[in-house]
Structure 1
Amino acid sequence: MAKLFRIVSLGLLACLAACSQAPRPSSAIRTQGDATWHAVVPEGTARYELALGEVSSGAAPEHRVTPVYPAALLAHCPPPEEVRALLVVSAAGKVDDVRVDDEATAAADRRLYIDAVKAAARQWSFVPLKVERWAADANGESHVVDSQARPFSLAFDFHFECYGGAARVTAGDAPSAPGHGAK
């Protein structure tokens, strides 16, 4: 019995000694990049004005692709970067254009972030913005008289961040109000 106790004790001590060793640094630390985004309504944004009896719906993201953090920037892990992009969406809900205000004058590093945003945002799709006109018939029952899909635009802020040898691009929700955005 004493021999069994000694064997179990030695085994337990060996396990504890192994657990107390500091982890070895990995020689192949893989840096990664992520992105986040959230919808914004810039000051002065034009909106569709609905007439009496009109109702809008849609204009909500249906499919979103997260931008890829620029691999060329991971090595020096720059400070966080924000890119505001205006997504111009067709009446069918497809992104026709992605506009970034300072794109023409952007420095080389910022241009990499802008390119990542544009490449991802061009793959987004939205539930089409539909404007319906309702009216009441002679019996007082409401029904759709006319329905029309319309183009729209929405602005999003994309946030790129590098931390601890890795990068992150954060994501947020789209606006909750249908038809929210510029014409």
Structure 2
Amino acid sequence: MTRAPALLATAALLAGCAHTTPKQAPAQGVGSASYRTIEGAGLAHYQLAMGQIAMGATPEAHDPPAYPEAMLATCPAQVDLPARVIVSEQGTVSEVRMDPPPAQRPFAEAVRRAVRGWRYTPLAITRWAADADGDSHPVDSETKPFSLDYVFTFRCEHGRASVSSAAAKPSP
């Protein structure tokens, strides 16, 4: 009967080592974003006269929108959200135009929050002329407002979210 106490001692030691794994909370989705420009339908473009060049209208600061946290729990199917970004003469965003359906409004607000902080090199239109020696020099220059069309794509897969977007060529 010396085996019984040894078995009981072994069982007690094993019981002391046993543990249960705590239940883990469901994984919370993670959001990320990117964007792309698209050719905007109906966008007007500045008509340059002979001797004029346009420079600028290039992005300087473009933090992508964050995936709306309130939408992570439902993890909706892909959302493609077009937006027109109006840029002032100073290169700051003055307006973001969108017409989202009600279900996409949280995504539209995320886009507005991010895009309002975007900065561009101002669009400058410069008129050049040649002097009597044939050397070119700038005569005058002015900055102009412009707009770009973007498509923001929000994705959620397996509880993980991502956002991408696109923009079009600048226009007035």
Matches within 5 A, 1:1-183: 27=25, 29-100=27-98, 102-103=99-100, 106-107=101-102, 109-171=103-165, 180-183=169-172
Pairwise CA distance, 1:48: 0.3
Is contact 1:159-1:169 (8 Å) kept?
yes
Deviations 1:19-54 (A, max 9, x none): xxxxx9954623111222111112221100000000
Aligned equivalents of 1:114 and 1:35: distance in 2? Answer: 13
AA at the equivalent of 1:135: A
- Tell me how far apart the structure 2 counterparts of residues 28 and 165 of structure 1 sit (CA, whole Å): 9
Q: Distance in 2 between matches of 1:82 and 1:152?
A: 23
1:93 Cα offset (Å): 0.1
Is the 1:65–1:124 Cα contact (8 Å) retained in structure 2? Answer: yes
> Is the Cα–Cα contact under 8 Å of residues 28 and 72 in structure 2 kept in the other structure?
no
Letter in 1 for 2:44: A
Could you tell me whether the CA contact under 8 Å between 1:53 and 1:133 is conserved in 2?
yes
Aligned residue identity for 1:99:
R
- Residue correspondences, number: 151
Q: Give the structure-1-normalised TM-score.
A: 0.77
Q: Deviations over 1:97-123 (max 9, x none)?
A: 1001x24xx21x300011010110000
Counterpart contact for 1:41–1:181, Cα < 8 Å: no
Q: Secondary structure of the residue that 1:73 maps to in structure 2?
A: helix
Q: CA RMSD in A?
A: 1.8
Post-superposition, which runs of at least 4 consecutive aligned residues in structure 1 deviate over 2 A? 24-30
- Contact 1:35/1:161, CA 8 A, preserved across alignment: no
Per the normalisation by structure 2, the TM-score is 0.82
Whole-Å separation in 1 of the counterparts to 2:23 and 2:137: 68
Percent identity, aligned pairs only, is 39
- Aligned 8 A contact 1:36 1:160 in 2: no
CA contact (8 A) 1:62 1:125 kept: yes
What is the alpha-carbon distance in structure 1 between the residues aligned to residue 132 and residue 72 of structure 2? 67
Secondary structure of the corresponding residue to residue 35 of structure 1: coil
